[in-house]
Amino acid sequence: MASSSSGYAMFLGCVIPNLLPHLEISIRKVFGKLDVEVKDIAGFSCCPEPIGTPGLDMTTWVTLAARNLCVAEEAGLDIIAFCNGCFETLKEAKVLLEHDAKLRSRVAEALSKIGREYKGRVEVKHFAQVLYEDVGPAKLRSYVERPLKGVKVAAHYGCHILRPSHLLQVDDPFNPVLLDALVEATGAESVDYFRKFLCCGCGVGNLDEATNVKMVMEKLHYMTQAKADCMAVLCPVCFRQYDVRQMIINKTYGKDYNIPVLYYTQLLGLAMGMTPDELELKSNRTKVDPLLAKLNGGK
């Protein structure tokens, strides 16, 4: 609908404003320096999340998502999502409404009761797509004031930016390159590691805590083997899984994992010359001190 020069409607979702406001700080500071305008618009609700709600009632899930799409559409803006789950919900709802006439009719009837009509004109992009497609890795490098040379980063894509790939169409779900390219635009090295595309485990957390912990530990194990200095994520839910659970695993299971977890805008912000205080890195649960020491000349 809108060209990127018109800016995007910022869809932060629920997790960032309510549980991880320090990530919002990095988002606003980084995008404030880039040639991409993100705008606050009133009226967004929970996306809602793409696992439980559609399993209970698909029409309700799509209707709530469509109401959010209407809010952006009425503002004349496309959506930039800062959460993988929000991105999947909004993008999948858009595609389903385009191709399922019966669903579209049911959703239209529900929206009419609150005086809204979805016209299908709004586009939905993940913020990583915007950085990769609208800005591009080459131009991102021009914003880098402090290249993260020598830093080894383990990229974690997360599930809901890649799959279902036939609906989301962001990157190759089996061999994605988007986040690796964005990491390397900072001057850091994106390291390969076994089980790179393993789910963070959040989806099974409420059903099977032991499996959830095992998945997080497995990923941390292989990132440690790859000698990663930190990991970069694109999703606040994935961020919490590794940032908070890493600390819990160390205390509960006697492990000694020490991999700083950075949301991508935190990593990019450091490369752009922002200080740890400006990016509120002290609010991360896993300490970033080892990474900062390396950036300051340590090994």
Q: How far apart are CA 37 and CA 27, in angstroms?
A: 12
Which among 97, 127, 157 is the end of a domain?
127
Kindly state whether residues 17 and 72 are assigned to the same domain: yes
Which among 65, 97, 127 is the end of a domain?
127
Q: Describe the strand order of the beta sheet including 261-263 as a list of residue ranges.
A: 189-190, 152-156, 230-233, 261-263
Q: Give the residues across from 78 on adjacent strands.
A: 8
Domain containing residue 95: 4-127
CATH number at residue 41: 1.20.1050.140
Is residue 8 in a domain? yes
Is residue 117 in a domain? yes
Element (H, E) at 231: strand 230-233
Total domain count, the chain: 2
Q: What is the dihedral of CA 39, 278, 161, 241, to 10 degrees?
A: -130
Kindly state whether residues 83 and 168 are assigned to the same domain: no
Q: Which two structure tokens, joined as six digits, stand for 66?
A: 């469509």
Kindly state whether residues 17 and 113 are assigned to the same domain: yes
> C-alpha angle with apex 261: 260 to 267, nearest 5 degrees?
95
pLDDT band at 280 (very low <50, low <70, confident <90, very high): very high
pLDDT tens column, 153-172: 999 999 999 988 888 889 99
CB 226 within 8 A of CB 291: no
Kindly state whether residues 67 and 193 are assigned to the same domain: no
CB 160 within 8 A of CB 124: no
Which among 104, 127, 150 is the end of a domain?
127
Kindly state whether residues 116 and 146 are assigned to the same domain: no
Is residue 132 in a domain? no
Kindly state whether residues 278 and 149 are assigned to the same domain: yes
- Identify which of 179, 183, 224, 202 has the alpha carbon closest to the alpha carbon of residue 19: 202
Q: How far apart are CA 239 and CA 263, in angstroms?
A: 7
pLDDT tens column, 81-93: 999 999 999 999 9
pLDDT tens column, 92-145: 999 999 999 999 999 999 999 999 999 999 999 999 999 999 999 999 999 999
Beta strands 8-11 and 78-81, pairing class: parallel
Q: Rounded mean pLDDT of 1-19?
A: 85
Kindly state whether residues 245 and 287 are assigned to the same domain: yes
Q: Is the pLDDT of residue 2 over 80?
A: no
Q: How far apart are CA 44 and CA 69, in angstroms?
A: 9
Is residue 209 in a domain? yes
